[in-house]
Structure 1
């Protein structure tokens, strides 16, 4: 599994989380350090660059208008997500580089509740489990029989995916939000019946550069795209979406076998 993407998601989406991916990021970074020739580079498309330049020009020409537009988009997105107190769906994940080469694919199930809880399970190509319980992120690797534990607050810092489950106004104020009809970072177009929001941290330096959320005419979250600092684009497309369902008590807890090693990094 692309753990960097997963942790982003939880730690985001954990952000994500959803929608994955952030232990994943740490492992990817380590792999790149050991295999510099295999590091994947991705860049914004010309359209993405032009869109960002347009926003910058608009802000310089009329900063108040740009702020008003972002505030309106933020209020609209908060209204959509406030009605999504629960979310469960299957997902298909694809990670591509700048040349649209597929570098990772995964399938699984994502479950989220507001505020701040997420469960990410993959069934392909491997069985993995990532749980954010509101305080910590638990990454269970059954293959090596190890559980890595991270502080959720640290894992999701500056990650726009946190907005999927956060209700904190201070957190929301840390991001710029724009409603757009343009293609997402993955190049996906949008239909007239869909709404798309692009979210980016106001401060540079985070693992996620931009997050794009797409909603259908039933106001359901149908996909998300994440452009990360390593310049990869991760796309999650959801299916069998549910927003009302019973939540078992153990959904956001992890049972660790005695034989597993626990790496607690909190």
Structure 2
């Protein structure tokens, strides 16, 4: 094994560790990316009730059809690292997450399958979306307040501040909580605390809400010569 190969594999392993937590974030991104609708809020800094928080999040969910943005993703904990790239999401259940620096990785989902392509290792992994989603924030895509409240404790810590904190009720969830911050009606940062004690922060920039996205972006065909792994 050459030194270059060792470096590539080490980088890819770190990126895969980050991917496990990231996938849940990705599935959430589309749901919370809606423009902030006009809401009647009190001037007090007290938290909103769980029901009100779920209803407000539902309004956000129902107003977004698609979103594109650049991102910077940083993980701190057992595995530290920062990655940059671009993303596109489109309801229902379509997303594309492309990391370009410091290494290249592509994650594509179209509602039935999810692909993770590591260019450096010439390896593509195919997973069932059902297996990947489980009790993750993907359930938010339903836009149904009753389902959101059933699977997550939805909080809005300060009724005058535009961010939500989600706590999964399932013991099998891969994360402890997820917070989403808005500025100017756009989601600008998401922070996920996973069950491994790691914190993954994602900052969005150049955000475009409800653009027209070519459906081909959510399709993936492994390049010739690439090893394909089915999970």
Give how far 1:163 is off: 4.7
Q: Is the 8 A contact 2:31 2:64 kept in 1?
A: no
Matched, 1:200 2:167: yes
CA pair 127-18 structure 1, distance change in 2 beyond 3 A: farther
Q: Which residue of 2 aligns with 1:117?
A: 94
Q: Aligned partners of 2:31 and 2:185: how far apart in 1?
A: 17
Q: 1:174 aligns with which of 130, 151, 158?
A: 151
CA pair 261-168 structure 1, distance change in 2 beyond 3 A: farther
Unaligned runs of 5+ in 2: 1-11, 33-46
Matched, 1:129 2:102: no
Q: 2:176 aligns with which of 198, 209, 215?
A: 209
Q: Which residue of 2 aligns with 1:47?
A: none
Q: Give deviations 1:40-94, integer Å, cap 9, x for gaps.
A: xxxxxxxxxxxxxxxxxxxxxxxxxx9x921110110111122222111101111
Give how far 1:249 is off: 2.4
Q: Aligned partners of 1:120 and 1:239: how far apart in 2?
A: 14
| Alignment RMSD | 2.6
Q: Aligned partners of 2:99 and 2:75: how far apart in 1?
A: 15
- Count of residues in Structure 1 that have an aligned counterpart in Structure 2: 203
CA pair 6-166 structure 1, distance change in 2 beyond 3 A: farther
Q: Give deviations 1:176-219, integer Å, cap 9, x for gaps.
A: 1000149xxxxxxxxx6x41100011122321110101111x32
Q: Aligned partners of 2:29 and 2:60: how far apart in 1?
A: 17
Give how far 1:6 is off: 2.5
Matched, 1:93 2:70: no
Give how far 1:18 is off: 9.4
- Secondary structure in structure 2 of the residue aligned to 1:77: helix
Give how far 1:168 is off: 5.3
Q: Which residue of 1 aligns with 2:204?
A: 238
| Higher normalized strand content (fraction of residues) | 2
Unaligned runs of 5+ in 1: 20-65, 183-191
Q: Is the 8 A contact 1:7 1:14 kept in 2?
A: no
Q: 1:147 aligns with which of 100, 116, 124?
A: 124
Q: Which residue of 2 aligns with 1:8?
A: 21
Q: Give deviations 1:200-239, integer Å, cap 9, x for gaps.
A: 11122321110101111x3211110000010100000100
Q: Aligned partners of 2:172 and 2:18: how far apart in 1?
A: 17
Q: Is the 8 A contact 2:31 2:61 kept in 1?
A: no
Q: Which residue of 1 aligns with 2:50?
A: 70
TM-score (norm 2): 0.79
CA pair 106-128 structure 1, distance change in 2 beyond 3 A: same
TM-score (norm 1): 0.69
Q: Aligned partners of 1:9 and 1:135: how far apart in 2?
A: 18
Q: Aligned partners of 1:120 and 1:150: how far apart in 2?
A: 15
